[in-house]
Amino acid sequence: MKNFRSLKGVVPIIPTPFTKEEEIDEESLRNLVDFAVSAGVEAACLPAYASEFYKLTDEEKLRVVKIAVDQAAGRIEIIGQSNHASLKLAINLAQANVAAGADVISLAVPRIFNLPESSIEEYLGEFMQSIPNTPVLLQDFNPGGQSISVEMICNLMNKHTNFKYLKLEEPLCAPKFKEIMDATKGNIGLFEGWGGLYMLELIPTGITGVMPGLGVSDILQKVFCLRKAGDNDKAMRLFEKVMPQIFFSLQNMELFHYAEKELLMARGILNNSYVRKASYTPDPATASYIRELNQNILELVGEGVMQ
């Protein structure tokens, strides 16, 4: 197994920046990686749902990982997301990401159509078997449905030693997280997704970390550390100030892309908020409210709360 720093804390998803012509903006992507380093996190992931991975060619997916690995230069771990509905193509992408220097490989459970759990287990098992010396993080994003079962998680863990992490994105999942921890004896690190919206609920259960958007990652890293240290009042007060932005933007995934890039632009990290079409075009009232929410984030950072 490849030597790597164990993932923990906040692991942000890096968005894919585009030019006006909807081409990948390499210079801006390098700036985003540098911001992740400055946020005090230990790792970052791309290209995931929050990176518009589903609008990228396989060549582009590999390219953004290569750029991120090069720019990180060992300062943080890079998780190469290797999603594809085709197992064969997911494996090809994962192996290419490993060759490009990705420290961990992430894979979303294929949820385009309903599949029996046996088919999903076969898909995930063969995927992990194809990169046996690289740690794997599985993500199950299944809006409106249940995530993979505890039984399947244990089966995969027992068969594949490189299955190290699991990211779930469903509400009210503290009991399931606790069940997974007990069943796996803590050998699978659990991450909460969905922008970090449920992190205060789940940190006391013993989760390994959170995988939010990049724009608020430095703030949520502070929240995570405060909560883990038992400084619950400070953690709650800080989280309360950033929660409206997270909650509003996550009403729609395409709205999230726009709001996230607008926030990064407001923070001086991106120079535009271009999103590949098809995309969400906010009405004037929505755009104005996003600017207001983002201004609150700027004021929060300016208050010195990150010290």
- Asked whether residue 60 is assigned to any structural domain, the reply reads yes
The DSSP code for 12 is P
Spatial separation of the C-alpha atoms in residues 48 and 84, rounded to whole Å: 11
Look at residue 141 in the predicted model and tell me its pLDDT. 86
Tokens of 224: 């995570």
Tokens of 219: 């703030």
Q: Specify whether the CB–CB gap between 58 and 89 falls below 8 A.
A: yes
Q: Whole-prediction pTM value?
A: 0.96
- Asked whether residue 252 is assigned to any structural domain, the reply reads no
Look at residue 5 in the predicted model and tell me its pLDDT. 63
Look at residue 132 in the predicted model and tell me its pLDDT. 97
**Residue 283, exposed/middle/buried by CB under 10 A (0-12, 13-18, 19+)?**
exposed
pLDDT tens digits, residue range 53-72? 999 999 999 999 999 999 99
Amino acid at 249: S
- Asked whether residue 3 is assigned to any structural domain, the reply reads no
Tokens of 186: 């803590």
Residues of the chain predicted below pLDDT 70: 1-5, 304-307
- Asked whether residue 86 is assigned to any structural domain, the reply reads yes
- Asked whether residue 242 is assigned to any structural domain, the reply reads no
- How many structural domains compose the chain? 1
Angle of helix 174-184 relative to helix 150-159, nearest 10 degrees, comes to 30
CATH number where 13 lies:
3.20.20.70
Spatial separation of the C-alpha atoms in residues 106 and 110, rounded to whole Å: 12
Task: Provide the residue range defining the domain that includes 17.
Answer: 9-230
Look at residue 6 in the predicted model and tell me its pLDDT. 80
Q: Token pair 């490989």 is at which residue?
A: 105
The strand pairing partners of 78, in sequence order, are 44
- Asked whether residue 261 is assigned to any structural domain, the reply reads no
Look at residue 4 in the predicted model and tell me its pLDDT. 56
Look at residue 277 in the predicted model and tell me its pLDDT. 97
What is the Cα Rg of the chain in Å?
18
- Asked whether residue 265 is assigned to any structural domain, the reply reads no
- Asked whether residue 302 is assigned to any structural domain, the reply reads no
